[in-house]
Homo-oligomer: A and B are copies of this chain.
């Protein structure tokens, strides 16, 4: 795993040198945090959702995020058009199925994106994974309430079916494709107490995927958020809460470097 941490470190250097453009069709709740997380890592975010401009915007990007957090029916064609454009051009697509299962519309849109776009990476929580795999599961808004038992098998099954890298974040994080399975032990419970940390993780995953390998990109993005969550929490003092934590998270992404990745990264 030392080699993998080394490889992730090299991807970080690549991002900071090349400032890849990351096109994000995302929600209005966490859009600002996703943009700043992307910038903090060293990439260049652009948010654009209109059907008349997604094709051009995606074409110039090095990765695309499709996040359905605050879905409008009017924007569904734009998600598909951007996704298909990216795939045609070999631009990696990260799909974040926020709240899938919470409503029929989200489930249908997710199905359409999986079928028509065939994303390279699916970054989700355990509740969302269950829904995408047609398991019966209680859904409550956009936060995961599902048990994490048996998720390795489920994620593998889903990776095989979709031919995608599946990154499931939770108490421990899991990144799976047809052949590989990596567990990441970084992170902090407070990451579930700030809105949009999953969305930000998807933005980091896309930034790393822009450096050329979907599996390593997914591991790197999830690992980066986990490490930065840990360090942000460590630096808090007595009267600080999730307000300060949220700000420090961006600081830690900005301060992230190869030494930190190798020192703190816990993957297996």
Contacts and interface: CB of A to CB of B under 8 A. Distances in A.
Interface stretch (A4-12, A43-51, A115-123, A127-135): A43-51
A52 B193 CA distance: 28
Interface of A: 21, 23, 27-33, 35-36, 39-40, 44-53, 56-57, 60-61, 69-74, 99, 102-106, 139-143, 193-196, 235, 239-244, 246-255
29 contacts: A21-B141, A27-B47, A30-B32, A32-B32, A35-B196, A36-B246, A39-B242, A40-B241, A44-B141, A45-B141, A46-B142, A48-B99, A48-B102, A49-B70, A52-B73, A53-B102, A53-B103, A53-B104, A53-B105, A57-B103, A60-B139, A60-B140, A74-B74, A239-B255, A241-B250, A241-B251, A241-B253, A242-B250, A243-B249
Query: 7 closest pairs, A vs B, by CB?
Result: A241-B254, A243-B250, A46-B141, A53-B103, A241-B251, A35-B195, A28-B28
Chain A contact residues, majority secondary structure: mixed
Contacts of A103: 48, 52-53, 56-57
Nearest to A36: B195
